[in-house]
Structure 1
């Protein structure tokens, strides 16, 4: 069944009008007509089975009928990644959504080569990935911020998995094995040029940071992000235990 993320509140009998892009997708691309069923979600009210009630040149209208799934949330997990080339950062955002990250924070490091990111475009990619994967929320994609500023304002209650390519950190599964799941975490991926010595020294000195190695090979940022997210989910996230689903947004 087609799934769409919408900003509107969802309740039985709610009459909903899709925006132009979603109306075009539903009517012209997927060729859905009056009576077609569509699953809708908004990140707050769960997933609702809905029916198309009107198809016009201006918009597609639907009526919410019944809730098919209650609202649940995955782990409180941020992915922090240095801004890289457009194609790679788009892949990172797409896979972060598929792998259950709740937020993607873009960072500017001392060796970051790119300093711009089209957050609106990245949000659209995250939304499409959420629709396709069956999750009931869309990960937030935040504007780039200097890494030093991000650390200055850090909540010490959120653990930070620092993926360190220097080679002297513990293997990631070993580093995660004594850690606790069910609490806020973030994963930090550096730029393709690596962290500077000063950045690495500061990160290693943070009491909430967990340095970890992703193996003997140097990985590109997108590969590193996918690998770290996968391993974290397997060790501490909702791959390890389905009971960790359902936390508050």
Structure 2
């Protein structure tokens, strides 16, 4: 486990971060730090923006109703954003929030909603999705916020796919063989993972996936998993077998 500071509050900021350059806290951040965390002037927090690494910042109050973050030391250098694309059929609010947060924790670098034939939620709030991604990144030590993309229709996704990125989809009808063996047999290269809706992929969608040479189907075992559970299980299997958990 890397040596990170897990005790100090972490905040994502849009502004550039450099020593001595004050960054104004948003009203929401100021309320969280001053009223929820009960911090005050001179206390230290961590800030990151996805570009300049993670910085230790002192809290400074230039005025009664203002709060600044004053960077004084870079705690961690910037790491490249995760390259794993996570594709999913949108769920209803609470379960979608959970799924987005867990995907960020599990190392997704792109969050791509896909509108399938059996999708549960036909409308999606991208700002809410990004807010959940930011919250997860703040809490789990991630230095970059995943890209949150607009929804795309399933047919358009497959038609416009970048063939250099291999697509793995979790097929509830696939024989319950070891997904680890299947994944380790894949050639090295950029990856994407696709999780379908609660009702599963339609017959037409499954045929399109099975016919594409850039797609590999895996099983997640003998039980039918809910979509949010399948997301965590599939990301764990992928990261452990051919992802960034291997440490090689």
Give the TM-score category using the shorter length. Answer: over 0.9
Counterpart of 1:133 in structure 2 is 140
- Spell out, residue by residue over 1:51-77, the C-alpha distance to the aligned partner (whole angstroms, 9 max, x if none): 111165533112111211011135410
Counterpart of 1:195 in structure 2 is 201
Q: What secondary structure sits across from 2:119 in the alignment?
A: coil
2:22 maps to 1:15: yes
Alignment of 1:160-179 (within 5 A): 160-168=167-175, 170-179=177-186
CA 57–197 in structure 1, closer or farther in 2 if over 3 Å, else same:
farther
**Maintained 8 Å contact 2:176/2:221:** no
**Maintained 8 Å contact 1:80/1:188:** yes
2:221 maps to 1:215: yes
What TM-score comes out, normalization by structure 1 length? 0.92
Counterpart of 1:156 in structure 2 is 163
CA RMSD, Structure 1 to Structure 2 (Å): 1.5
* 1:94 equivalent among 101, 105, 123: 101
In the alignment of these two chains, the number of paired residues is 241
Residue 179 of structure 1 and its aligned partner are, at CA, apart by 2.2
Structure 1, unaligned runs of 5 or more = 244-249
Counterpart of 2:124 in structure 1 is 117
Q: What secondary structure sits across from 1:106 in the alignment?
A: strand
Alpha-carbon distance in 2 for matches of 1:146, 1:122: 18
**Maintained 8 Å contact 1:167/1:216:** no
Alpha-carbon distance in 2 for matches of 1:117, 1:151: 20
Runs of at least 4 residues off by over 4 Å:
none
Alpha-carbon distance in 2 for matches of 1:121, 1:14: 30
What TM-score comes out, normalization by structure 2 length? 0.92
Alpha-carbon distance in 2 for matches of 1:193, 1:59: 49
Residue 88 of structure 1 and its aligned partner are, at CA, apart by 1.3
Alpha-carbon distance in 2 for matches of 1:119, 1:195: 23
Alpha-carbon distance in 1 for matches of 2:99, 2:182: 23
Structure 2, unaligned runs of 5 or more = 1-7
* 2:190 equivalent among 184, 194, 205: 184
Q: Which moved more, 1:54-63 or 1:27-36?
A: 54-63
Residue 141 of structure 1 and its aligned partner are, at CA, apart by 2.0
Q: What secondary structure sits across from 2:47 in the alignment?
A: strand
- Spell out, residue by residue over 1:112-161, the C-alpha distance to the aligned partner (whole angstroms, 9 max, x if none): 13101222112111111111111111112222211111122211111111
**Maintained 8 Å contact 1:169/1:211:** no
Counterpart of 1:235 in structure 2 is 241
* 2:88 equivalent among 81, 89, 100: 81
**Maintained 8 Å contact 1:75/1:184:** no
* 1:70 equivalent among 45, 54, 77: 77
Q: What secondary structure sits across from 1:102 in the alignment?
A: strand
